[in-house]
Amino acid sequence: MVKKHYLKLEYESPFRVMGVFCPQKDYRFCWNLNQSLETDLKRLPDFSYTPHNLEQKDLFSVYHYAKPQLRLAYYLISNKGQNGRLFAEPKNLDFILLLKNPRGHLDPDALIRKIRNTSMVQAAFFLDDKLGKRANTFFYDFEMYLSETPKS
C-alpha cells in the first residue's frame, strides 16, 4: 500500500503589523504621522478587499513610504471602509501600519513611542499574531494589490 504524503504550505508574512487607535480622518492622521516619524507617506489607490462576514468588496485607503536603500516600506491602511471594517478585532481599531522588512533596520520600541506621542493617538501596539485567521488571506491579497499598484 502506498503511503500518502501531505504538503502543508504556510505563508510567512514579511510584515510587522501595528494597530493604531486614532479618531482622526486618514489624511489628517497621515500628516501628523509624517511630522512625528519624519516620513513622507503618500496616498496610493484604494485597496479593494472583502472583509469577514461581508459579501461585497469595500475600499480602504492606503498610504505608502519607502526607504529603498534599506528595503524598508511603511503602509498605513485605514481599518474603516464604507461598509465595514477590515479587521473586527481588536475592537475600534482605526489604522493598521504595516512595516515591510523591518528586521535590523528599525527599533520597534522607539517607533511605538513616536507614534504614541503623535497628536490625537490614543493607543498603538504591535498586532503581529492578534489579527485572527483571516490575516494570512489579507496579507496575500495585500501583496497582490502592491504588485499591481504603481508607486510614485
For range 134-138, the mean pLDDT: 75
**Residues 20/96, Cβ–Cβ less than 8 Å:** yes
So where are the chain's domains?
19-148
Cell of 31: 500628516
Distance CA 89, CA 28 (A): 24
pLDDT tens for 65-80 read 988 888 888 999 999 8
Q: What is the pTM of this model?
A: 0.84
Residue 147, all three cell numbers = 504588485
Pairing of strands 123-126, 15-21: antiparallel
80-127 per-position pLDDT tens digit:
888 888 887 888 889 999 988 777 777 888 888 999 998 889 999 888
* pLDDT for 146 beyond 60: yes
